[in-house]
């Protein structure tokens, strides 16, 4: 059995980007490790959701623990950096944020876990952090550097198939999918299909993915675009998770697993 380490920026990123893959690998008996860079303390939260005296970081830690149990995560660690906030916000420059972290220093901490776990696979994000969030960009840099340090050979960048989602947006009515304000901007999301090397069918694990999303209630409301679509639309949106394998020729899309089959 293999060990796969998934490196994410904040709690809930693991479920949205790679939750189906994690659940699938765990169900097959593989060891799934999750490392988050931050506690996500700057996430948006609906008014009145937190209990008196409850802070968002603490709430998100509980939500993440619940999601990890659903997805079959064997071990979770947080690198302990501060959430940097969205791109362009003053918080990007705060001391201790992940965005400001020394890449080699952060990578050393991640590499130590890769060595300890004898990881067969590391998953980070694509060069644009999937959608440009500062902490996601840093996950890409730190993740790939850590793999070099630890000698981890199979390295994947989680991404979104932009070509597919453009087509899905055009066919939204077929799936009973109501788009926010009638459209979804996908030009800055993920990569074009010709860069995808790996497409993992997670349609058999959509219930796990949905329940893990629901566990992150402070960030993903039942009425959100993530959870509100009807079953056919939900499956169309979330039934495949896409990756770019570092060093592999793009555009083939023939790989269906993060492991050597």
Number of domains observed in the structure of the chain: 1
CATH number at residue 26: 3.40.50.10320
Residue 224 located in a structural domain: yes
* pLDDT tens digits for range 156-204: 999 999 999 988 888 877 777 766 654 456 788 999 999 999 999 999 9
Residue 257 located in a structural domain: no
User: Measured on CA atoms in the order 121, 162, 98, 75, is the torsion positive or negative?
Assistant: negative
Residue 132 located in a structural domain: yes
- For residue 202, is it left (φ>0), alpha (ψ between -120 and 50) or beta? alpha
Residue 148 located in a structural domain: yes
In this prediction the pTM is 0.95
Residue 259 located in a structural domain: no
* pLDDT tens digits for range 132-157: 999 999 999 999 999 999 999 999 99
Residue 253 located in a structural domain: no
Residue 258 located in a structural domain: no
Q: Which domain holds residue 158?
A: 3-245
Residue 154 located in a structural domain: yes
Angstrom distance (rounded) from CA 96 to CA 86: 15
């Amino acid at each position: 059995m293999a060990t796969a380490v998934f490196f994410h920026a904040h709690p809930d990123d693991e479920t949205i980007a790679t939750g189906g893959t994690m659940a699938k690998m765990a169900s097959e008996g593989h060891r799934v490790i999750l490392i988050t860079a931050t506690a996500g303390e700057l996430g948006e939260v609906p008014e009145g959701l937190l209990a008196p005296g409850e802070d968002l970081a603490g709430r998100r830690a509980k939500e993440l623990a619940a999601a990890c149990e659903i997805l079959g995560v064997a071990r979770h660690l947080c690198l302990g950096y501060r959430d940097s906030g969205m791109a362009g916000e003053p918080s990007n420059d705060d001391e201790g944020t992940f965005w400001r972290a020394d890449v080699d220093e952060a990578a050393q901490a991640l590499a130590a876990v890769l060595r300890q776990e004898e990881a067969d696979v590391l998953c980070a994000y694509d060069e644009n952090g999937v959608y440009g969030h500062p902490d996601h960009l840093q996950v890409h840099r730190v993740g790939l550097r850590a793999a070099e340090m630890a000698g981890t050979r199979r390295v994947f960048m989680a991404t979104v198939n932009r070509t597919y989602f453009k087509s899905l947006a055009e066919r939204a009515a077929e799936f009973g999918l109501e788009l926010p304000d009638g459209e979804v901007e996908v030009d800055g999301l993920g990569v074009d299909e010709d860069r995808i090397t790996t497409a993992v069918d997670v349609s058999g694990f959509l219930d796990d993915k949905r329940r893990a999303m629901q566990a992150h209630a402070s960030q993903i409301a039942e009425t959100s675009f993530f959870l509100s679509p009807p079953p056919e639309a939900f499956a169309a949106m979330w039934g495949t998770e896409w990756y770019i394998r570092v060093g592999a020729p793009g555009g083939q899309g023939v790989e269906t697993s993060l492991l050597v089959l």
